[in-house]
Structure 1
Amino acid sequence: MALRLDPVRLFIADDVGVGKTIKALLIARELIDRGEVRRMAVLCPPYLCDQWEKELREKFNLEAVVIRSSTLGRLERHKPAHLSLYEHYPIQVISIDWVKSDRNKYQFLQFCPELVIVDEAHGAAEADPRNRKQQQRHQLLREIAQDERRHLILLTATPHSGVEGAFRSLLGLLRPEFRELDMGSLTEAQRAELARHFVQRTRKDIEQDWEEGRCFPERISVDVTYALSAKYRELFDRTYEFCSEIVQSGEGLEERKRRVRYWGALALLRAVMSSPAAAVAALEKRAGAPELGEEEPDFGPFIFEPTDELVDDEAPTPPIEEAEATLPESDRRRLRRLARMARELLHSEEDTKLTACVETVRSLLQEGFHPIIWCRYVATAEYVGEALRHALKVAPSGLTGDGVQVTVITGRIGEEERRMRIEAIDPEGPRVLVATDCLSEGINLQEKFTAVLHYDLPWNPNRLEQREGRVDRYGQTAAKVKAVRFFGRDNPVDGAVIDVLLDKAREIHRALGTYVPVPEESESVMEAIFNSLFLRGRDRLQGLQLPLFEENVALQAFHRRWELDAERERTNRTRFAQRALKPEEVRRELEGVDRVLGDPDAVREFVLSAAQRLGLSVRRDPKDADVFLIDVSEESLRTLPDPIRVTRQRILSELAHPSPVAPQGSPFGADRRSPTWRVSFVSPTPEGAEYLGRNHRFVTALARYLLEEALTKGKDAVASRCGVMRTRAVDTLTALLLLRVRYLVEIPERVPLLSEEVLVMGYHSLSDEEDPWLDDDEALRLLAEAKPDANIPFAEKRELVEMVLEEIGAWGGDGQVWGAGHPLQARIRARIGGRAKELEESHKRIRKAVSLRVRELRVLPQFPPDLLGLLVLQPVVRP
């Protein structure tokens, strides 16, 4: 789709976890390799910067710099004074919230790269003017898009928030006329034109084109409930009564104070139901009642989880403090008594929520899952983590080892330390991660975890999907993942959230096959629900209160709106699932590329063979046939040639001393000092292993070293350029030529691009045949599969090589295939000319001649080619 647009203006709105990042970077890498793009920038939320840098480096061998306030000084010191950051560093990952400000954006716009990728683009849609942050992002993107020649790729799993104007504002970045589209009544011509730029696929759409089995795990969703103990029930009852009273008594206050009391009551109730630790943190660590200002503060982020922002996971102290300022001293004393009751529950058997969680985690571990426990507040996460460490010191029944690894990560920990803690988790042993929503975006967790448990139910279904999407995504090697909704069956607050939001989200997902974002007014609806709970009285809070919800007019309207959004989403995904794409056409082009560059099997064979020749110890992991263990100890590295050792030491150094500009994540077992490097050549990659593809810098370093050494050292090189083999694979003397061929790719109005590839050609030597040349597939097969079946004296080898060199007219000592007048030269030149025509047609076919420039594209072979290698196959004399 991208290559058929000029410029590339593409909106990728696929489901969560199906590889939008990889798709965008495949396009970027292709444009860079074609010479159409020299510089690119990724604009993303600050918490995603390091993840983008890691994907660029590990999967595409593109060295990016992260540009944000914390890296600015260092980057400035390492560039020439006369160049801006955006001119000097070709691959950039930039915090959109840093660059959107007036102080920073003008220089970026002045030197903006030719390609810009925008992640989480829904957060940059046109918004209410009061949302200044989002408006600044949108204005930045509009100015970027004004350059009609700039390539622009937008990414989001939630393109439509339910506000039609916001969605059209994003489409308008692709083409201005899209801003005026009426999505409810598109003409066929409008739909077809938009479909060239917009793609929205579900997992089902992708799996229909996937012929090698499932590419996503099966998600098993279950509910686990607990009952409050007598003491926890008493704490809840007293908290609820207190909250209800201050909300009801505040009805007569001015609007500002009435709202503050409501927010304080909601914050207190949510903290108490999260954990006794969160209740203590919210009630005991207050700075005292503050002075109330004139304007009502925005306490929403302390209570609800916004979809497109990271959640503040600290205790909701500010709204409680503000509410306290409106209360008499008698009510403040009641708050202190609630704090004492919460403290008495800490780590006691009366905390049945914690006890039930521990047992559920034990069960998940025994089933072979590695769970993430999601908590709302820092205090809760630390409390749960401490309890799990104590309870799981001895591995649960059925597991072996010294215990279970329990790691706790919250928003109090910096981004770099979060990554280091994740990397330090041993993928070989049982493990549990306890985290707040600071990890629900930005760090891929599917390599080490296979289940989630929502210790605190989110009050936003979108956040629920983001949490579960950390493990249920492309790259998950487990066949099944488990998602546990964990809630109190006698807790009316959990009941309200489940009935109003989470069950409705699940119902829509089952019907549609994907999640539909909750409408924007969800917070106001939930406020109305909770306000009703407070005002109705304690006697109305038994069970899940279905009658109460059924009579709520606002709730009914809200659900109808959500259903309409789901129907609109169903229609759009049907229209823009891009079923016109033909997987067989893509496969044909991909197979052609793999024949030249090598598929994963070829990469594996190359690395293993090169390692053997260089004396680098590589062995297969006895526990996983797809994983190989490379010895990277100091002793082993000492025997390697300098270029390979420097490359390996550089990666080791980055692991030991990660840069704040470019944090690293390559696995070296559980310990960074481990002398064993776990690698794999398959994708999705087994957990704990690093993927070695043909773009990986270790692979490219091996290839570059072996080629350059062969060209300069001759007979002393590790890899010989000439060889002779006596084999049963042929019946007549056969020569295989390894030719490096160059082409000039000419596109009008652009600088010509010089490209090269290696061709394998074979022919029957000393043959009287009219056409002694082998077809390409047969030549490749012999090169890959021919095995020596008998010894041959060195003198005879030398004689055969010299004979073939003279036969093809290449005997000149510099490796070039000589003049066109030689008998075999015509065939070589004709084959290269035919290959150039094939490449030209492939370029035009892929791009569908989108412009006059492409229609006039020419691929011109450059003669003479280089003769890189020669293999002579001599048949075994049969008795």
Structure 2
Amino acid sequence: MTTANAQFQPGSLVTARGREWIVLPSSSADTLYLRPLGAAEEDATVIHLPLERQPVRPATFPWPTIAQAGNHAASRLLRDALQLKLRSGAGPFRSFGNIAVEPRAYQLVPLLMALKQEIVRLLIADDVGIGKTIEAALIVRELLDRGEIRRLAVLCPPHLCEQWQRELKERFHIPTAIVRTSSAPRLERGLPAGQSIFDAYPFTVVSLDYIKSDRRRDEFQRACPECVIVDEAHTCTHSGQSRQQRYQLLKGLVETPDRHLILLTATPHSGDEDAFFNLLGLLKPEFRALKDLPQESRTALREDLARHFVQRRRPDIEEWQDNTIFPERLTAEITYTLTGAWGRLFSDVLEYARELVERGEGLGVRQQRMRWWAALALLRCVSSSPAAAVNALRTRLGQLDDASAVAEHDLDAIERLANERVMDGADDSLSTDDLEPAARTEDAERLDRLIAAAEKLSGPSNDPKLARLIAHLQDILRDGFQPVVFCRYIATAHYLAEHLRIAFKDATVQAVTGQLTASEREAAVEALGDAESRILVATDCLSEGINLQNLFTAVVHYDLSWNPTRHEQREGRVDRFGQKAREVRCALLYGEDNPVDGAVLHVILRKAENIRKELGVLVPLPDDQGKLTQALLNAVLLRTGGIGGRTRQMSLDFGEPAETLETAWSSARDKAARNRTLFAQRKLKPAEVLPEWQKSLAVLGGEDDVERFVRQAAAKLGVPLEPWRSHYKFHLPHCPSTIRERLEGEGFAGSLKIDFHQPPAPGAIFVHRTHPLVACLADYLLERTLDGRGADPSDADGLARAGALFTDVVATRTTVLLLRLRHQLTITRRAESRLLLCEEMVTYGLEGADDPIPLDETKARSLLDAQPLRNMPPALRDRHVQHALDSLPRWTPLLEELAHARARQLLDDHRRVREASDATGSYRVVPNLPVDVMGVFVLIPA
């Protein structure tokens, strides 16, 4: 910008087109980017100076007048409106004015770690439910608002794309396009030749399965944004063809030295040493050497890794002075026995399954494996429900063929499909296929009899497992809990929902399975929010991707997963950051005399739980691509005898496979213990983070400030909030037309159910400081106040820019000034300078009349909340206000010194949180003068 236009520097005020504007960064000598004074960021416009009919002139902000005096409530409303409209805040974090979430202090640790790196390379490996998505998005939003990045790509498994899109839009105001096989052609349509999706759309959420192919990978690496988040990063190491492609993709991305990379995973180490150290190598190639270095040579690399790797467990959060972050998780085991017709059916199926495997001996490999999978599918389905058993018995598994020339890929295809539907997958790729596996390998009257027997067992009178579930749900519903029942198969989910609707006529029961698309699942879950009492029956399609903590407080594992990580994921949907309930209940349901449940429970699940209690972390199942679990179940399948009752089932004698798994568990436990020691890091302590967080809250306002403002603003406009259950209703049709039309343009109409705290009440909209409702109310009130009309009797919608009151909180006459400060922040890094505009509201107190003494800001701020003890006659009020207004010229040096002091403080804040000891770059902060005096309020001792 030229010297001639120095008065148009960012942050300065100008008059153009009959109103006042604030000059924004990116302005040049001929072109001004302007935001109307008191309006929102989206109202910004561009003015080309040579085309303006009237010259653009510097402007000064007018001081309050006697005509703008009003009552004390209107003055507090002015402060709240100005504070909540701040977007380019002057605190140490640039992004906090642009987010719709109030992060906990512990969630700032990854942000502070990232800001101490020149190029962000970070692995966030916090436990399930702690808030890795929020932590990563905070980093990205901060980099965007500092002007350090302009584009972002999130790489994630396909079933998480919608969740990422929703979180980034709703909480961080980052609109993204989803890129995967179904959406890419639509996004590419109309693009100029040679332009990539990633050039045209600055913010994308990309399916890893879509982008990993060689052709697409090369295009992505060419056009990849300068910042990338990788979710479920442990699935991108190089074991197996799919993971090899993902690993090559990320390996290519990190070869660009100035690309920011944030890796997220709850299971960084799944037992595969090579995979783990390859993951670390994405942060820095030299970290791979930690695998083979002797203990005494690792110190320097470990110290370096601690700056790039953060991993917290639930107990680690306790030191952050907030005991209400996570609920207490109470676990229980509930059992049933295989009695009556159900017990006879299970024994018949078990006997048939064993015979099926035995008859396969001597046949070809393909026939043997098909019979083995069919037997295992039968046991899994009959353990789940009669409906799943019937489906498995009716569905044929391939075509048995005695011909010697059988295509090998046919066997491979059968193995993959059967493994996906019968087993639960590896820890880095848990199965979400909830269709019942095929189990029919022959046409026989015996199978038809089994089907007929299973069909007769429907309902709690014949199904002891269902009856036990109903009894348990009666207990927890009576205690006020809202349960999610997880099962393995689609047929079981619908079977349970049908009978639970009969048993619980006063509750709303919904089944959600893989038959629904991701958006349909989300809609089905949200629809339960209006129910007073609700039961969700879900397959594992919901154990990842949709957070359930807003609506549910209990989890029931109706079907045991054969992988302990799945159980943690299920419970983590409910027991996670944002759960309002102080207690979450989890129950494990199994058959006391079910041999399959017994093997899984004792050899897999309980062993994992014991290690988790000992080490504090969940150690993944040490299974070699499912081979150990298959061997264990094979041993169960071939054990002689029927259902032997509780004594036999509780026996731990499962032969050699159990011993092999025990050895593998011990090895996994020892590795996890060593890694905890090896990668112990210098954690940021609460004392280093909490002051920054508290300072940001004071500058911008939190959830309580938002609630107070909206309630008071709505009441002032004659549309008071209507209490509704645990939240409110806001009746938009009764609002002034300006507010109504703008909110309708944002997609809001009619009566809105709103909540001011996260997570919101079921069915309510979370109203945060950046929500359109807050912006509309603040804009409307400020525009009617700052355009000169003021808060006179003829304008009931205006706010008070001046006032006086009698109070007992002061001992001498005290004046409180509401000030708006604007600063130009110049950041120079890597030979590039960026000019940013910072704004803040400051409450400035002066004690005394003739020679006033400045007050501490905290004290001054509290004075605006003082309550008047008695009415002050308007004439006396005006006399006190006029005396303060007459004093403003001689107080100007004090205000300018305050502006310079705040600029120095802002400079210190930014240096402290952003610059690493070896980072290059510089900061410069210049205050825009004169200071804007927004309000003048006089407090007189009562």
Q: How high is the TM-score relative to the length of structure 1?
A: 0.86
| Contact 1:205/1:577 (8 A) holds in 2 | no
Deviations 1:311-335 (A, max 9, x none): 2111102xx35xx2xx5x6xx3322
CA distance in 1: counterparts of 2:816 and 2:326, whole angstroms: 46
Q: Does the C-alpha gap of structure 1 residues 528 and 852 become closer, same or farther in structure 2, counting only changes over 3 Å?
A: closer
Q: Which residue of 2 aligns with 1:775?
A: 856
SS in 1 for 2:748: helix
Report the Cα distance in structure 1 between the residues aligned to 2:327 and 2:128, rounded to whole angstroms.
13
The offset of 1:534, in angstroms, is: 2.8
Partner of 1:734: 815
Deviation, 1:766, is 8.8
Q: Which residue of 2 aligns with 1:836?
A: 903
The superposition leaves residues 591-614 of structure 1 with CA deviations (integer Å, 9 ceiling, x where unpaired) of 211221113322222222222233
Residue aligning to 1:294:
408
C-alpha change, 1:167 and 1:697, in structure 2 (3 Å) is farther
Instruction: Point out the more displaced range, 71-80 or 152-161.
Output: 71-80
State the SS of the aligned residue for 2:205.
Answer: strand
Q: Is the 8 A contact 2:117 2:919 kept in 1?
A: no
Tell me the equivalent position of 1:808: 888
Offset of residue 644 of structure 1: 5.5
Paired AA for residue 593 in structure 2: D
Conserved 8 A contact 2:486-2:558 = yes
Q: What is the deviation of 1:81?
A: 8.1
Counterpart for residue 243 of structure 2: 134
How far does residue 192 in structure 1 lie from its aligned partner after superposition? 1.2
Mapped contact 1:644–1:702 kept (Cα < 8 A): no
- Give the aligned residue type for 1:837: R
Deviations 1:737-781 (A, max 9, x none): 422322223223233232222242535499442x64333233322
Alpha-carbon shift at residue 555 of structure 1 (Å): 2.8
Per the TM alignment, residue 736 of structure 1 is displaced from its structure 2 partner at its CA by 1.0
- Change in Cα spacing, 1:787 to 1:71, as seen in structure 2 (3 Å) is farther
CA-CA distance at 1:547 after TM superposition: 9.8
- For 1:700 and 1:753, locate their aligned partners in 2 and report how far apart those are by CA, in whole Å: 25
Query: How is 1:93-132 mapped onto 2 (pairs within 5 angstroms)?
Result: 93-127=205-239, 131-132=240-241
Amino acid at match of 2:587: V
Given candidates 821, 829, 839, the residue that maps to 1:757 is: 839
Q: 1:473 to 1:443 in 2, by over 3 A?
A: same
Q: Relative to structure 1, is the Cα distance of residues 201 and 762 closer, same or farther in structure 2, using a 3 angstrom cutoff?
A: closer
Q: 1:599 to 1:845 in 2, by over 3 A?
A: same
Q: Taking structure 1 as reference, are residues 777 and 371 closer, same or farther at Cα in structure 2, changes over 3 Å only?
A: closer
- Equivalence for 1:826: 893
The match for 1:660 is: none
The residue that corresponds to 1:208 in the other structure is: 319
Q: How far off its partner does 1:684 sit?
A: 5.0
Post-superposition Cα deviations, 1:645-685, rounded to whole Å, max 9, x if no partner, equal: 433563437xxxxxxxxxxxxxxxxxxx8x3413123x455
5 Å-filtered alignment, 1:453-464, equals 453-464=556-567
After superposition, the Cα gap between the structure-2 partners of 1:570 and 1:862, relative to the gap in structure 1 and judged at 3 Å, is farther
1:164 corresponds to which residue?
Answer: 273
Distance of aligned partners of 1:156 and 1:733 in 2 relative to their CA distance in 1, 3 Å threshold? closer
Residue from 799, 804, 807 that aligns with 1:720: 799
Distance 1:540 1:230 in 2: 12
Check the 8 A contact 2:153/2:229 in 1, yes or no: yes
Deviations 1:569-622, CA, capped at 9 Å, x for gaps = 34444565655312022111112112211133222222222222333331444x
The CA distance in 1 between the partners of 2:507 and 2:300, in whole Å, is 59
- Structure 1 417/539 Cα, relative in aligned 2: closer, same or farther at 3 Å? closer
Q: Does 1:487 align with 2:590?
A: yes
Structure 1, 344-353 or 711-720: larger mean CA deviation: 711-720
**Partners in 1 of 2:583 and 2:572 — Cα distance?**
13
Pick from 632, 635, 644 the counterpart of residue 731 of structure 2.
Answer: 632
Q: Indicate which of 177, 195, 200 corresponds to 2:306.
A: 195
Shift of 1:159: 0.7
Q: Is the 8 A contact 2:346 2:382 kept in 1?
A: yes
Aligned equivalents of 1:620 and 1:643: distance in 2? 21
SS in 2 for 1:24: helix
CA contact (8 A) 1:760 1:779 kept: no
- CA separation of 1:705/1:148 partners in 2, compared to 1, >3 Å: closer, same or farther? farther
Where 1:181 maps in the other structure, the secondary structure is helix
8 Å CA contact 1:60–1:696 kept in 2: the answer is no
2:771 to 696, 717, 724: 696
What is the distance in 2 between the residues matched to 1:265 and 1:866? 79
1:511 partnered with 2:614: yes
* Residue correspondence of structure 1 range 24-423 to structure 2 within 5 A: 24-76=136-188, 84-127=196-239, 131-182=240-291, 185=295, 187-209=298-320, 211-286=321-396, 289=399, 293-295=407-409, 296=411, 297=413, 298=416, 299-306=418-425, 307=427, 308-317=429-438, 320-321=439-440, 324=441, 332-347=444-459, 349-393=461-505, 403-423=506-526
TM-score scaled by structure 2?
A: 0.81
Deviations 1:16-63 (A, max 9, x none): 111111111121222222221222121111111111222222322333
Contact 2:895–2:931, Cα closer than 8 Å, also in 1: no
The structure, 1 or 2, with the larger RCO (C-alpha pairs under 8 Å, 6+ apart) is: 2
Match of 1:668 in 2: none
C-alpha separation in 2, matches of 1:242 and 1:547: 23
Q: CA deviation at 1:344?
A: 2.2
Q: Say if 2:336 and 2:590, in contact at 8 Å, map to a contact too.
A: yes
User: Contact 1:411–1:436 (CA<8 Å) still a contact in 2?
Assistant: yes
Could you tell which deviates more after superposition, 430-439 or 691-700? 691-700
Measured in 2, the distance between the counterparts of 1:851 and 1:89 equals 34
TM-align CA RMSD: 2.8
Give the deviation of 1:338 after TM superposition: 1.8
CA contact (8 A) 2:823 2:928 kept: yes
Q: CA deviation at 1:707?
A: 3.6
Q: Which whole-Å CA distance do the structure 1 matches of 2:236 and 2:518 have between them? A: 23
| Distance change (3 Å), C-alpha of 1:842 and 1:232 | same
CA distance in 1, matches of 2:645, 2:626: 23
Assess if the C-alpha contact under 8 Å between 1:742 and 1:757 holds in 2.
Answer: yes
Indicate if the aligned counterparts of 1:199 and 1:576 stay in contact, CA closer than 8 A. no
Change (3 A) 1:69 1:276: same
Pairs within 5 Å for 1:3-14: 3-14=115-126
Distance 2:936 2:465 in 1: 71
Q: Within 1, Cα distance between the matches of 2:498 and 2:774?
A: 43
Question: In 2, distance between residues paired with 1:98 and 1:800?
Answer: 69
- Structure 2 residue aligned with 1:662: none
1:537 aligns with 2:640: yes
In structure 2, runs of 5+ residues without a counterpart are 1-112
Q: 1:642 to 1:80 in 2, by over 3 A?
A: farther
Percent identity over the alignment is 40
Matching residue within 786, 790, 796 for 1:711? 786
SS in 2 for 1:755: strand
Query: Do 2:823 and 2:925's aligned partners in 1 also have CA atoms closer than 8 Å?
Result: no
The 3 A distance-change label for structure 1 pair 351 and 452 is same
Range 193-202 or range 839-848, more displaced: 839-848
Change (3 A) 1:355 1:872: closer
Give the length in aligned residue pairs. Answer: 810
Q: Please give the alpha-carbon distance, in whole angstroms, between the structure 1 residues aligned to 2:646 and 2:625.
A: 22
**What residue is the counterpart of 2:85 in the other structure?**
none
Contact 2:730 2:754 in 1 (8 A): no
Matched residues in 2 for 1:115 and 1:579: separation?
Answer: 26
1:495 partner letter: G
